[in-house]
Chains A and B, each alone.
Chain A
Amino acid sequence: MDYVKLINCMRCGMCLPHCPTYKETFLETASPRGRVALVRKFQEGELVESEKFLEYVSLCLDCQACASACPCGVNAGELVAEFRCERKQEQGLSTMEDLILRKLVPHPDRLEAATAPLRLYQRTGLQKVVRSLGLLKVFPAALGRMEGLLPKLPEAPLRQTISEVTPAVGEQKGTVGFFLGCVMSLIFSEASLATVELLSALGYKVVTPKDQKCCGAPNMLGHDIEGLQDAARFNTDLFQSHELDFVVTDCGGCGAELKKYGHHLDGEAAATAFSTKVRDISEILATEAGALKEKLKPLPLKVTYHDPCHIAHCQGIRSQPRALINLIPGIDFRELPEADACCGSAGTYNIEKPEMSDRVLSRKVQNVQKTGADYLVTSNPGCLLQLKKALSEANPPVKVIHLTELLQMSLNA
């Protein structure tokens, strides 16, 4: 790790009020400033990788709210992740990590096959039986949490059913490649269909290469930098083989990772060229606001927006989603207090650190309730999973949908 990145932290503390885990604990060790200090002191040989050390470092959600707040451009979340990646490279992947990150995640067909039993489980009514009998209580808590988070799955993953080329409606303005995130394809396929419909309606030909692989974000979460680099090379080559104006994604996590391929591959020209073409769907749609506005019909809904960390903090996209929501005639948009605070989903954090995840989530739910909105709009599958469950159980319940689903509703109203 570049030591200068660590000493760039001037310990001003500006990150503290933005860090979800600091806000819950008030502990310096649970703050970005503290984590940078821990990593620095490890590098300087003052601290060892004790159990406590790992516990403190792993409490980071990697939401990168600290990076947005830092006056000196230090990204504490990223530094901690980088540190953990380096340690992982030294220690090697465990058998389970190797199985998931190398043998399962990079292979969409295997990933889809692995989740097929889940679809069956929901569709055959087995889920109802399991839930009513409380069978999940006998399984490990983590499995119960995972099961509880799952919304109703689509009949088939979108990657299998989507056409490789969707023509533009009317005059063609350009061609975009669609990067279909794994979770979007497996779980939120309706939102991704809405994305394609919007792009096509605005005059874009949409190319969705079927061979695309996971963006590599799970590898990053598992601190497997080599697996991430493999994914980056593969997807770069695949998309660069098409003539594309932009590469669009509707998954905040994928977008953040794709935009960093150039960085992950140490500035390789092809990867850098690919990364500069990547756009979050809201960025593309915002440039078409005029044309879009003409097509949107009134929706008298009370709506609020949750900034996914991977959109707001990692990609710096804040105004576009709000501007798009406000294009809808008759919409009653209400700003969410602490809108860009993490919801606690954070990749697999909600499974690994359930207690802290719940505390962070509960603050989010309270803030959503303060708005009085009927709909919470967001644009990252992790947030969708986490918030759909929590807000369906809230009183009164709040519906959670992807930004493109809201726009599609207005388009077809």
Chain B
Amino acid sequence: METSFIKALSEIVGEQHTLSDPESLACYGYDSTPELQSRPGAVVLPGTSEEISKVLALCNGAGVRVTPRGSGTNLSGGSISFDAGVVLQTSRMNRIVEIDEENLTATVETGVITSTLHREVESKGLFYPPDPGSMNISTMGGNVAENSGGLRGLKYGVTDDYVMGLKTILADGEVLKTGGKVVKDVAGYNLNQLLVSSEGTLGIFSEVTVKLIPKPQAKKTMLVHFPQLEQAALTVSHIIAARIIPATLEFLDRTTIKCVEDYAHVGLPLDVDAVLLIEVDGHPAQVEEDAAGIRAICERHHCSFFQTAAGPEEALKLATARRVALSALARVRPTTILEDATVPRSCIAPMVKLIQDTAKKYDLLIGTFGHAGDGNLHPTCLTDERNPDEIRRAHQAFGEIFEATIAMGGTITGEHGVGVAKKKYLPKLVGESGLRVMRGIKGAFDPRGTLNPGKIF
């Protein structure tokens, strides 16, 4: 990138917040997506919305592309600049602007860390449910851009369900304010919803207003083992059919169970097909009733073990197996490819079975865990980037898994985004008309194609 352009950037955000040395560029050439890397031309860390506006106006005018980045935990390559453009990191904008206890909303700057918001609102007896796996480092702006989910999605929904207002900087530097603190708002197109999960291609958020709800009073955690996968899957469906909506309904398959046991020695039996971690929350009486109902359903489906945590400490212990699942898998081989194929929850059993068969067919080690309650699974391929043949097989296997996902009425990505990693599967999912509408929207927001080019489609 030309020195004069870098100088112009540094005049906006300050010299110390403009990076162009090869070492920094190397470190901003990746996010959490395996295999993908590409160095940007420069990195800026603006401190205010005005600075974002000026950076975008400058870049848009000069034909330089801009890729927004929070903490760089994206799993689809969304925060990597593939055309040596500018990476704009939002971390410095990390102020909680307001927690409005009358309207039950929180307004935060884009770089606020998700779990920081959790802590702040929970200290006031309030609750912001979305809890993506990366919540201790992911930013709120990033969560909105990717429509992040998490463990509590089944009962409480995902980021989308909580976004009430956005302050977005458009490609030319103009500010777009959408929504606000009102619960009902039908004035024109619902631009909030359009901007959620736009993956940085329509604008860069500088401020986010989210809905808060009262913090549930009580919680109960249960761990259940199933010798047969089908029975575990039926249990999931029957719990929901019994009108019980757990806050968490998580699943581990046989490969994951083995890896977890090898790593954490939590006492999981190696001869079971599935482990479910179930959490119900709400009013104490409701929690008791739901837990009893769940126990009866699990027993009817021949669970081999059922434990309810006596207190918060034991709950934490029961949740260990699920909590360490990714760690346990990731340690087995150097490279970990984590996917997020999502199917209607009634298809959990066939989906898990299909993943296992596909792994066998391509001679791969794939562990599956995830959010059984909402059908969002994480088939995780444990491989080695130094083995090109195995990597090729992994991609073939995932190709087949995604095809099957689409055939079952599911989606190629439940919470990680399309980015560049899933681009080739999108046309199959949304069709020509879907792509045409999306391209039209992109053109309306960003006619010069400045923002996060090459992502989604």
Contact = CB atoms under 8 A, between A and B. Distances in A.
A77 B92 CA distance: 24
Interface string A97-128: 00000000000000000000000000000000
Q: How large is the interface on A (under 10, 10 to 19, 20 to 34, 35 or more residues)?
A: 20 to 34
A143 B205 CA distance: 48
B24 A46 contact: no
Interface SS of chain B: loop
Interface in B11-68: 19, 21-24, 26-28, 30-34, 45
A7 B26 contact: no
B32 A13 contact: yes
Given A4-B334, A47-B22, A52-B23, A13 B385 contact: no
A16 B116 CA distance: 14
A7 B386 contact: yes
Given A7-B386, A10-B34, A26-B91, A34 B137 contact: no
A13 B30 contact: no
A29 B24 contact: yes
B72 interface: yes
Interface string B311-345: 00000000000001011001100111000000000
Question: Which of B27, B137, B334 counts the most chain A CB atoms within 10 A?
Answer: B27
B334 A26 contact: no
Nearest to A16: B137
B89 interface: yes
B450 interface: no
Contacts of B327: 71-73
A26 B72 contact: no
Contacts of A12: 32, 73, 134, 330
A287 interface: no
A167 B321 CA distance: 47
B252 to A, nearest CB: 15
A283 interface: no
Contact of B330 (A28, A41, A46, A71): A71
A13 B134 contact: yes
30 contacts: A4-B334, A7-B335, A8-B331, A11-B31, A11-B32, A11-B33, A12-B73, A13-B32, A13-B134, A14-B136, A16-B71, A17-B113, A17-B137, A26-B89, A26-B91, A27-B19, A28-B24, A28-B28, A29-B24, A37-B26, A37-B27, A47-B23, A50-B22, A53-B23, A56-B23, A71-B326, A72-B327, A72-B331, A72-B336, A73-B327
Interface of B: 19, 21-24, 26-28, 30-34, 45, 71-73, 89, 91-92, 113, 115, 134, 136-137, 324, 326-327, 330-331, 334-336, 385-386
Give the 7 A-B CB pairs with smallest separation, nearest first.
A71-B327, A26-B91, A28-B27, A34-B27, A72-B330, A13-B73, A7-B334
